[in-house]
Amino acid sequence: MKCYIFLTPELGNMGGAQMFTSNKVTYLKKKGWNVQVFYYKKGGEIKLPELLLYKDNYIKDFRYAFYYVPKWYMKIIAQRIREKTKEYNEIIIESHLVELAYWGEELSRLLGARHICNFLEEQIEPLSDRKADYFEFKLKHWELMNSGPGSQRRLFKDYFKSEFAQYENVVKFVCSNVVSNEPLAVKITKSDYSILTIGRLDKPYVRPMTERICDFVAKHADKTINVIYVGGSPDGSLEKSIPLLYEQQNNVHVYMLGYTFPVPSALLDKVDVGIASANSVLVTADYNIPTICLDINDYYALGVYGYTTKNKFMRQDEPKGDISVLLEEVLIDRKYPKRDGIQRDDEMDIELGKQLSYLDRSISYRGCYYDVYSMYKKSTIILANIKWYLRRIIEYLKLAE
């Protein structure tokens, strides 16, 4: 009897982590696993049916660093998880953020589970010596799943070692089921060009990207242009403010479609170019639409995915690209025509099957855990515990009012 547990930030709204988790939950269930998903961010509608099943698995303490929580309360959290896993003799915990990876390690020790780190965040803060040592431990025990060459450098930064190459494991994110044949609810005006960008509106690249799109629109005032945004913001404010940036352009129609899932193929059929960052790049690229991908650090273009770059997150040898120039090349010069290569559902099964097979590499290290508390001084932990108690007292007093 096998149980797979995900520690992930949120179930609501729509993003790469939610899509990835939903896909993997579905796959694991098909393979006979019991699956549980725990999260710590509330808010936003849970749009994916597979994730809606886990709405009660909310653990708010995951929002804090693990060492803030007293060890006795850590055991209570572990017991809550155990209640959903006690019938299973094999338990895997997969954590989706660097900070959740420390939680995952301690909870795995308490539950006798194996812990796989599969960090999904785009930007990672520099590690301390001890944290780098922890992730090196996970890497060498084949418990750092997302460890392709680029991912290793993104995580370890100055702590990267050439010897890490022997532990490489590339996680490929697939998005073939993001697109459906559902009808398009919004009428899109017929225009000379249609630009589609997919991603949360509160991501830092959105403003500079929009400004460069405006430059392109202004340069081609003789053309009619649709700019379509798929994605939302936490409070809905950006859905109102972004269209204001196009006020001076008379030749543009701006569409704010919010968290549209699945993306109707009827929408993609109208699109001439996509712009996105990270794994959102795949939605349009896998549909044969030339897609400009943006560096998650500097917000400049990496290139056109699959044509001039294979990177979705950050540049390696690519020069900093100007989005408006690439729009010129894609739309006006037609340098990057559509080509075959739409992903099929079986590719998703193949890629997720590789992730399941990855678990076999760590079997010989079963029962080996890193002492994550050793990353901090005892005085730091004691002070953090005091802050946790104070937060609890304040929360209790607010409820009593």
Residues 13 and 97 in one domain: yes
Residues 204 and 252 in one domain: yes
Task: Please say which residue of 300, 316, 342 terminates a domain.
Answer: 342
Task: Tell me the CATH number at 356.
Answer: 3.40.50
**DSSP H or E segment with residue 350:** helix 345-358
pLDDT of residue 338: 74
pLDDT of residue 32: 93
Residues 184 and 209 in one domain: yes
Find out whether 107 and 73 touch, Cβ atoms under 8 Å: no
Residues 359 and 253 in one domain: no
Sign of CA pseudo-dihedral 67, 70, 75, 76: negative
Kindly report the average pLDDT of the chain as a whole number.
91
Angle (nearest 5°) at CA 52 between 358 and 106: 45
Q: Per the structure block, which two tokens stand in for 310?
A: 């294979």
Spell out the alpha helix ranges (H) of 245-344.
265-268, 281-285, 323-327
Residues 279 and 308 in one domain: yes
Residues 10 and 69 in one domain: yes
Residues 126 and 218 in one domain: no
Residues 252 and 365 in one domain: no
DSSP structure string for 77-106? HHHHHHTTTTT-SEEEEEE-SHHHHHHHHH
Statement: residue 229 has pLDDT above 60: yes
Q: For residue 263, give Cα distances in angstroms to 10, 312, 379.
A: 20, 20, 50
Residues 234 and 170 in one domain: no
The total of other beta-carbon atoms located within 10 Å of residue 257's CB is 20
Task: Please say which residue of 292, 316, 342 terminates a domain.
Answer: 342
pLDDT above 90 as % of the chain = 70
Nearest to 242 by CA among 259, 253, 226, 254: 254
**Averaged over 158-182, what is the pLDDT?**
83
Task: Tell me the CATH number at 182.
Answer: 3.40.50.2000
pLDDT tens digits, 288-313: 899 999 998 899 999 999 899 988 88
Q: Report how far residue 314's alpha carbon sits from residue 312's, in angstroms, rounded to the nearest whole number.
A: 6
DSSP annotation of 182: P
pLDDT of residue 345: 54
DSSP annotation of 333: S
Amino acid at 42: K
Residues 371 and 315 in one domain: no
pLDDT tens digits, 1-23: 899 999 999 998 777 788 889 98
Nearest to 159 by CA among 181, 129, 183, 182: 129
Residues 118 and 247 in one domain: no
Spell out the alpha helix ranges (H) of 169-244.
206-219, 238-244
pLDDT tens digits, 256-274: 998 877 788 899 999 999 9
Residue 53's pLDDT band (boundaries 50, 70, 90)? very high
Q: Report how far residue 6's alpha carbon sits from residue 59's, in angstroms, rounded to the nearest whole number.
A: 12
pLDDT of residue 174: 66
Q: Report how far residue 277's alpha carbon sits from residue 230's, in angstroms, rounded to the nearest whole number.
A: 13
Residues 38 and 111 in one domain: yes
Task: Please say which residue of 311, 342, 373 terminates a domain.
Answer: 342
Residue 401's pLDDT band (boundaries 50, 70, 90)? low
The 3-state secondary structure of 99-145, one letter per residue:
HHHHHHHHHHHHHCCEEEECCCCCCCCCCCHHHHHHHHHHHHCCCEC
Q: Is 52 in a helix, a strand, or coil?
A: helix
Instruction: Residue 274: give the domain boundaries.
Output: 178-342
Q: For residue 317, give Cα distances in angstroms to 214, 306, 309, 321.
A: 28, 15, 9, 12
Q: Look at the block and give the residue holding tokens 């991603």.
A: 199
pLDDT of residue 287: 85
pLDDT tens digits, 328-362: 999 999 999 876 554 455 677 888 999 999 999 99
Report the domain count for the chain: 2
